[in-house]
Amino acid sequence: QQQVKQSPQSLIVQKGGIPIINCAYENTAFDYFPWYQQFPGKGPALLIAIRPDVSEKKEGRFTISFNKSAKQFSLHIMDSQPGDSATYFCAAGGKGGGYQKVTFGIGTKLQVIP
């Protein structure tokens, strides 16, 4: 059972564009929604995270939008740059399934072309 559904699996945008990656979750016990960025040969690194008491969080060029009623959240990258080319994972964490865990989406490979 895929508890966090992420789309699209791949995305190509031109420099300066605004890629949007979407995620949907099922378990309302989740209370932490991070995004991780992964470069080739490296482990995922926390990019930005949101908790369900706010609808939007912005850090630099990265913004999370959160819709609690729809159980959806998305990552927007403003003024995207070639250096943003990476794989992005959304995740949902908390006491889902009765124990503390984090569930990841399948990942989105983003390519920003100059």
19 binds other proteins (CB under 8 A): no
Determine the straight-line distance between the first and last CA of the chain, rounded to whole angstroms.
38
Return the residue of 55, 78, 101, 113 that touches other proteins, per CB under 8 A. 101
∠ CA 83-33-66, nearest 5°, is 90
30 binds other proteins (CB under 8 A): yes
- Signed CA dihedral, 70, 65, 2, 92: sign only: negative
CB 86, CB 37: distance < 8 Å = yes
The span of 12-20, 61-69, 75-83, 105-113 binding other proteins (CB under 8 A) equals: 105-113
Return the residue of 14, 31, 60, 79 that touches other proteins, per CB under 8 A. 31
98 binds other proteins (CB under 8 A): no
Alpha-carbon distance values, 81 to 9, 14, 21, 60, 111 (Å) = 19, 8, 16, 13, 9
110 binds other proteins (CB under 8 A): no
Q: How far is the CB of 65 from other proteins (least distance, A)?
A: 20
Q: Footprint of other proteins on this chain (CB under 8 A)?
A: 6, 9, 30-32, 34, 36, 41-46, 49, 89, 92-96, 99-107
